[in-house]
Amino acid sequence: MELLYLMIICSVSLAAIFLVIFIISTRNGQFEDDEAPAVRILLDSEIIKEDPSTVNKETSKEQANRKSEEKSD
């Protein structure tokens, strides 16, 4: 029976700790504006352009890998 009382005290104290952490985080603004990051990616109009020299290096590396794979077959 003493174990049951100990478990109840532990669970209530753990719930109180989580409640305090939740209240502190809401006061600090942790849960405000949760919709904007999801929408921001849809409205992002900046286009990322790749450097043509890096694209050519990547394709030459891929071609070298293909040639070595063909030789191993």
> pTM surpassing 0.75?
no
Question: How many residues are recorded in the chain?
Answer: 73
Identify the pLDDT of residue 59: 64
Identify the pLDDT of residue 58: 53
pLDDT in tens, the chain (73 residues): 999 999 999 999 999 999 999 999 999 988 887 777 777 777 766 666 666 665 555 566 677 777 777 766 5
Element (H, E) at 69: helix 52-72
Distance CA 19, CA 23 (A): 6
Identify the pLDDT of residue 53: 62
Structure tokens belonging to residue 29: 């603004």
